[in-house]
Amino acid sequence: MDQIKDWTFLSCAATCLAACIYMSLGLRRNRHDRALLMLTSAFGFKFVSLTLSAPGVAAIADQLIGIPDLTALGVHLFGGAGGSTGILVALGYWTYPTDRARRRAVLVFALAAVVAGVLISLWLAAGSAVSVQSGNYLLDNMGLPEVAVYLVLYTVTFAAGLLEILVLCVRYARVAPGVWLRRGLRITAIGAAVYLLYCAHRLIGVIALHLRLELPDLEFITPLCIGAGVPLLAIGLTLPAWGAKLTTASVWLRDYRSYQALYPLWRELYDQVPSIALDPPRSRIADLLRFREIGYHLCRRVIEINDGRLALRSPTTVVPSQAPVRSSSDLADEVEWLVQMSRGTRAA
């Protein structure tokens, strides 16, 4: 199980590091964007937390530091208090007016500071009860009352943060401006819901242990929930920043495919009326490699095809009899109509 956790946690840490770097690049252009700043910080905290969560890394770090189980405290402070606080504050700036978001951020910071202080105090108190260094601090010591209280407090506060994230995302995903922001909020809500299963698993485990209930070994739930929840959170929270680029890429791909699909019809007209071409490609390969300003070239190709048809004064020479009738003057409809004509020309 430790190897699975190592692989899962380090993979999630790499995901958070990538998100942190990507968001930090945006800070160069938007230095006063508080939501962006908090998200960048949150992913940085989660990167540290998940890296220290890997049992192999934790063992090495504890040995180098010389303080037993200090990494366990670091995991919870960075990932819980730090990461959750950053996400909650960022979501506040996304969903509330600036003044309200600022007041809410102060409250979140204050609560996080209190929780962090209590966790540190409980960890110090539990240190006297833990007799040996453990590779899995919580799992191996949650039978001790001091560690159990620490675990319950951490899990409950972490779950409360995730629940607040879930509620905010679900509430504002319906009304948020921008399709990519709405999609990002929905994905974030799913990630928070999956992550909550990890919290439920931890609480059930400690309660069952102190009630002396025998439960099957379900520790696989930890890497499963974290391995799914963290990437979903990372994708959802960063999607508003890079989602628009997906739209641009989709439009480019659609225009490129239409541009190439019109080539047979354009070529037949060009062979008969060479003057229609403003900037004819040197060869078919050159036409295939025409990637820049594809939207302009597509419009140009449509114009040249129409010019050729008008010049010939006889569309039937290049249009098959089964060609559909155009029903709209919209460019997209015109392109689709001409593409069908071009396919008929190719088949002929």
What fold is seen in the domain 2-242?
Answer: Rhopdopsin 7-helix transmembrane proteins (1.20.1070)
Q: What pLDDT sits at residue 320?
A: 40
Q: Is the pLDDT of residue 347 over 60?
A: no
What band does 268 get if pLDDT is binned at 50, 70 and 90?
confident
Q: What pLDDT sits at residue 137?
A: 63
Average pLDDT (138-157) is 79
Q: By C-alpha distance, which of 146, 265, 166 is closest to 206? A: 146
299-340: per-residue pLDDT in tens?
988 888 888 888 887 544 444 434 444 443 467 777 887 888
What band does 345 get if pLDDT is binned at 50, 70 and 90?
low
For residue 138, the one-letter residue type is L
Contact 1, 219 (CB under 8 A): yes
Q: How far apart are the first and last CA of the chain?
A: 63
Average pLDDT (251-269) is 90
Instruction: Catalogue the E-assigned strands of the chain.
Output: none
14-56: per-residue pLDDT in tens?
999 999 999 988 888 877 888 899 999 999 999 999 998 888 8
Could you give the CA distance from residue 259 to residue 49 in angstroms, rounded to a whole number?
49
Could you give the CA distance from residue 205 to residue 213 in angstroms, rounded to a whole number?
9
Could you give the CA distance from residue 148 to residue 11 in angstroms, rounded to a whole number?
29
Average pLDDT (94-107) is 90
Q: What is the mean pLDDT of the chain?
A: 83
Domain spans in the chain, listed from the N-terminal domain onward: 2-242, 262-347
Could you give the CA distance from residue 227 to residue 221 in angstroms, rounded to a whole number?
10
Contact 192, 166 (CB under 8 A): yes
Scanning the structure block, which residue is given the tokens 């908090």? 38
